[in-house]
Each structure stands twice: as C-alpha cells, then as structure tokens.
Amino acid sequence: MAQKSRGITPEVTGVRKIIRTVQYTFFPLLVSALSRVDSLSMSMDGRGFGYGNTRSYLRNSSWKATDTLVAFLTICFLMVCILLATGYLPEIVQFI
C-alpha cells in the first residue's frame, strides 16, 4: 500500500522487476532504521550511557511483606484455578 501511494506498482513478472520492487520496498526501511539508530546513539551518548561503572536508580526497591502476601495469594489462586479446570475440586463448583 505504501508503494501504491507513491505511485509504484509492485510487479513480480521478471527477475529485474522483482529486484526493483525489493529495492523500492527495503531501501526506505533501511534508511529510516539507520536514521533511528543514529538518533538513538546520539541520545545515549548525550546522556552519558556507559560512562559510569555503577548504575543509578531513581528509587531503590526492596521486598516487603505485602509482596510476599500478594505472591502467595496469586499462587494459591492459580492452583485453585488449575484444580477446578482439571476437575479435582468439583464440590466447590456446586456452591458457586
């Protein structure tokens, strides 16, 4: 569709036309990808990426009791779902 909007009709009748179609398709993709890589590398260089030995973080995170509770409840919920799906807890389904 992008080639049709540019006025290029993709033709696959001969080897030369296939090569021309591939050239018209992939050359703009290559140029845009290299442009993005260039801007990303300039941005990373300007921000000092890789200059320091240690990484700095906005906040240091630590594991808390609520994290353990949520992880435990999630595992329990998944186990109940699996048991219900396999049919090992049919009596719970009667109450629901």
For residue 85, the SS3 value is: helix
Convert the pLDDT of each residue in 10-48 to its tens digit: 666 777 777 777 777 788 888 889 989 999 998 888 887
- For the whole model, what pTM was predicted? 0.39
Convert the pLDDT of each residue in 80-91 to its tens digit: 888 878 877 766
Q: How far apart are CA 58 and CA 8, in angstroms?
A: 50
Residue 63 confidence class, pLDDT cut points 50, 70, 90: very high
Give the mean pLDDT of 65-86.
92
Question: Which two tokens mark 24?
Answer: 């018209």
- Rg, C-alpha atoms of the chain: 28
Residue 52 pLDDT greater than 80, yes or no: no
